Amino acid sequence: MSAVDSVQTNFSGLNDPLRAMGKEYLLTGKGGSYVASTIGNCNTRKYHGLFVVPQPRIDGDGHVLLSALDEAISDESGTWELAMHCYPGVYYPEGYRYILEFTGPPVPQWIYQAGSLRLKKELLLNFEDDQLLIKYTLINASGPATLQLMPLLSFRNMHTLSKANAYIKEEVTPIKQGIKMQLYSTYMPLYMQLSADAVFVPAPDWHFNVEYPLEAERGYEFREDLYRPGYFEISLCPGQSVIFSAGLKEASVIKVPAFDQLLAEKKVPTSLEDYLMNAARQFIVNTNGDLAIKAGYYWFGRWGRDTCIALPGLMLLTGDSQGFKSVLNGLLRELKDGLLPNTIAEGYSSYNTADASLWCIWALQQYVQRYGNALQVWKEYGPQLKSILHHYKNGTRFGIKMEEDGLIYAGEDGYALTWMDAVAANGPVTPRAGKAVDINALWYNAVCFCLQLAKLAKEVDFINTWGLPPEKIADAFRCCFWDAEKQYLVDYVNGNYKDKAMRPNQLLAVSLPYTPLMPEMQKAVIDKVREQLLTPRGLRTLSPEDSRYCGHYCGDQEARDHAYHQGTVWPWLLGHFTEGYLNVYGYKALPLLEELYAGMVKALDEYCLYSLAEVYDGDPPHKAGGAVAQAWSVAELLRMNDLIKQYQHKAILLPNDMIVKA
């Protein structure tokens, strides 16, 4: 049995509400829309909804328009409510009791058994048109049955909650085979239609105090009121299907064969790589014609650092080199004073990051390694690359500047400028102002790469004006960070202070294409990282031997912030561990890396089905947490797989005795 066979794709026995709410699913559209809930159809987060879509006239966030669609089915013997909500102290209705089976890929599917009625539900988000489609099929029945569909509306930003009010527009506008609603004038209308004639029965009312238990766990407001305009009612005969549609424009024709064709185009994944390729698509959004990467679901938007780290895995390894350049070009338009933004929001970008620009250079380096067009890259991106190096060398915002020894100092009171960026009430949780080991590993790599391109292009002026030889930076790096007694790199240096916390940031000095370390130092670093930080889900952010170590990522925001980079495991670091381990051990690294990669298949059904979480607990069993699907987690596992395959291919071409000696 292959490792991927252990991915759970079929769930039964969901008559326990906690089990029914324990797994989430996520579908995404090209324009930034998404559908998300639990397999029990109970929203447990404020971010869940059947139709969440950007509203550019308001802001750049997603907005929950259709929170839920409550279903009920009836025949002459009775009525069964198939929905599920959390209310104070109770689950109502208890539709989870009627779920006979839930199946995952290629799309979420449910089989309900209610009395003698058996109903199949298939949910699909049309990726190209950002249109929700739900197909209901009456599989078994002794005669006709009546299906009732009751939309519950929010019309609010996904970060907020709605409350009953007298300001909504209750007007229901009839359209072809459905209705149009617009609760507030600032919103685009929501179109809800069916593929067959149905009756819409107006029954305006509010559903009060719907609860989202995961928001309560995270320390946020967790109750909201949902508006019910009425319900659709349609009669179904055995074997008959009907499709419900929701979107931002009126659908001209909704037909069952069209749904079936869209479903047939979706391939069922058969390997971990297939699952990751499918998941990679979730993070690519197209807004106003520009491609961008959404850093994670549900609450992350566009992040400069995350975009650059995720770009090679999400775009190059999925074969979309043009998409790579589209995302990169859009990001580079935000370049100011040598810095790329940390976060990018509608009309505003924040630049409090010391590494996003350096990761951008690394992403271009990956592009060159894959396509070999170094001169073209320098021709297209040379001005931006030179701008980044110039500003880092001579000084830019947030105290970022090259010091006399050639290393980068970065820091300003109140800011966390590295990827370990959690900030609590009293300031950064992991203050790393000064010379950080990861920033300077990236800096050395960036300088070497840019000089390599300039030499190929024979751009003598840039080479001569740069002046500082990379060898000087490498010498300074080793002098600054190498701890001969501990046999690893200190995390950061500020004046006479050296932070000797055992963290994964030092890994970049081994994994990046250009390393400032001697071979024996590289081996010592990777061995220490493996010994103290490596887990089956990624790398810990702090050694368990450190008194500040937090083994669990949970609680309210303050508790989570204090654990975020103090032991919490991040899977994105597996890509760099793989590259560093291969750099040091060559073919001998393959057994461990293959085992690690294969083991990640178990993560596909632990949290959000068939994607990878943002973080995991530092302590076993390494429970998933944070964002349910994270771009760089997926991207770097794809890159890990690619690195392994490259070495496996080389191994096939070499005699066994050469592999042993390598």
Q: Which amino acid is at 453?
A: L
Q: What is the pLDDT of residue 13?
A: 81
Q: What is the pLDDT of residue 348?
A: 84
Q: Cα 256 to chain center, whole Å?
A: 32
Q: What is the pLDDT of residue 338?
A: 98
CATH architecture of the domain 334-508 equals Alpha/alpha barrel (1.50)
Comparing CA positions, the residue from 102, 110, 22 lying closest to residue 69 is 110
What is the per-residue pLDDT across 309-325, written as a single tens digit (0 to 9) for each? 999 999 999 999 999 99
Distance CA 418, CA 506 (A): 13
Distance CA 205, CA 414 (A): 47
Distance CA 61, CA 57 (A): 11
Comparing CA positions, the residue from 572, 576, 556, 575 lying closest to residue 613 is 572
Distance CA 178, CA 189 (A): 13
CB 374 within 8 A of CB 513: no
Asked if CATH classification 1.10.405 holds for the domain at 8-264, the reply, yes or no, is: no
Report CA-CA distances (Å) from 44 to 28, 52, 609. 18, 15, 15
* 267 DSSP 8-state letter: P
Report CA-CA distances (Å) from 300 to 47, 137, 306. 11, 36, 10
- Strand, helix or coil for residue 239: coil
* Structure token digits, residue 493: 């240096």
The residue ranges of the chain whose pLDDT is under 70 are: 1-5, 651-662
274-293: string of b/e by CB count within 10 Å (b at 16+)? ebbbbbbebbbbbbeeebbb
Q: Where are the domains of the chain?
A: 8-264, 269-299+533-662, 334-508
Distance CA 401, CA 410 (A): 7
Largest CA distance in the chain: 88
The vertex-297 CA angle with 124 and 123, nearest 5°, equals 10
**Quick check: pTM over 0.85?**
yes
What is the per-residue pLDDT across 474-523, written as a single tens digit (0 to 9) for each? 999 999 999 999 999 999 999 999 999 999 999 999 999 999 999 999 99
Q: What is the pLDDT of residue 617?
A: 98
